[in-house]
Amino acid sequence: MVSMEPVPVYQMNRMPSSSAVDIAKSLRVSEAFNYFQDVAGLHADNLGAGIDHIKEAYDIAWILMRVRLEIGRPAHLEEPLIVETWPQPPRGSYDRDYLIKAEKDGELLARAVSTWILMNLTKHDIERGKVFDYAYDIQKSERALDCRLRQLKAPGPLAPAGEHPVRYSDVDYNLHVNNTRYIDFIMDAYPLDFHQEYEVGAIEVNYINEIRPDETLLVSKAAYPDAGGAPKDYVELSSAGDGRTAIKAAIEFRKRK
């Protein structure tokens, strides 16, 4: 448990290393998701709702269901950053917001919103109703993004875009694919020359089913018809074994500057 006093907005500092950036020395999208995962865990500890505590006390775990990230300017290699997060009042699910800022001048680089649920670890069911109290009374606050996270749907027939056998390095301590790894799987569905021309402007993800070691993920894509000048795609990852959907994503690209 974090010993500091509970705070409504939690901050952590990060500086992208060479392993955290892409071919343009810009912060990888998956690394931004890593930052969100880390700062959410630290703030949950600070509020008395950390992973270890709620597992031991209530037999429950946090499960990420939906997230949307919008990038204003990509963070650069070795650029000092501030990552902020704050929760919204519980309403059946648990919403949490994020900002990434440049430490030097406070420039806002990225915004994100997410929705989490609580899963009963014994019953493997969603935990309904009030389970625990945060360390302070959370009040409704300004959102990082003014949007409603929705259930994503394919805009048309899906075309195969590759496959990915799940290996040891893809799996976290829960013995399933970590949510951040799916972002890399999506990026790997595009060739190098595409990434040399385009970068991600926004991405929205629905997490649906967990995938475990030694499964193979099939990647499928469909283009949105209203994309305009830059590509906008729907991407779906599903199990090759039984066809269950792991994630759905909508991703908007833009020309690199």
**Residue 28 included in any domain:** yes
- Global pTM reads 0.94
**Residue 19 included in any domain:** yes
Is residue 81 within 8 Å of 14, Cβ to Cβ?
Answer: yes
**Residue 186 included in any domain:** yes
Same domain, 114 and 175: no
Tokens of 255: 């020309």
Tokens of 51: 């992973």
**Residue 141 included in any domain:** no
Task: Please state, in angstroms and rounded to a whole number, the distance separating the CA atoms of residues 74 and 201.
Answer: 9
Same domain, 119 and 163: no
Same domain, 168 and 111: no
Beta strands in the chain (DSSP E): 10-14, 60-71, 81-87, 94-102, 108-120, 125-126, 159-165, 198-207, 216-223, 232-239, 245-255
Residue 3 has a pLDDT of 47
Phi-psi category of residue 243: left, alpha or beta, with phi > 0 → left and psi -120 to 50 → alpha: left
Number of domains in the chain: 2
Residue-wise pLDDT tens digits, 10-24: 999 999 999 999 999
Residue 232 belongs to domain spanning: 159-255
Task: Please state, in angstroms and rounded to a whole number, the distance separating the CA atoms of residues 164 and 3.
Answer: 41
Pairing of strands 60-71, 232-239: unpaired
Three-point CA angle 40, 66, 111, nearest 5°: 60
pLDDT confidence of 250, banded at 50, 70, 90?
very high
Same domain, 16 and 92: yes
Q: Which residue has the higher pLDDT, 257 or 114?
A: 114
**Residue 209 included in any domain:** yes
Given the structure tokens 């894509």, which residue do they identify?
221
CATH code assigned at 104: 3.10.129.10
pLDDT confidence of 4, banded at 50, 70, 90?
confident
- Domain endpoint, select from 126, 149, 168: 126
**Residue 147 included in any domain:** no
Same domain, 112 and 210: no
**Residue 121 included in any domain:** yes
- Over residues 188-198, the mean pLDDT reads 97
If you average pLDDT over every residue of the chain, what do you get?
95
Same domain, 121 and 27: yes
Beta strands in 36-167 (DSSP E): 60-71, 81-87, 94-102, 108-120, 125-126, 159-165
Same domain, 97 and 27: yes
pLDDT > 70: percent of the chain = 98
Residue-wise pLDDT tens digits, 98-147: 999 999 999 999 999 999 999 999 998 999 878 888 888 898 899 999 99
Same domain, 23 and 79: yes
pLDDT confidence of 92, banded at 50, 70, 90?
confident
Same domain, 121 and 217: no
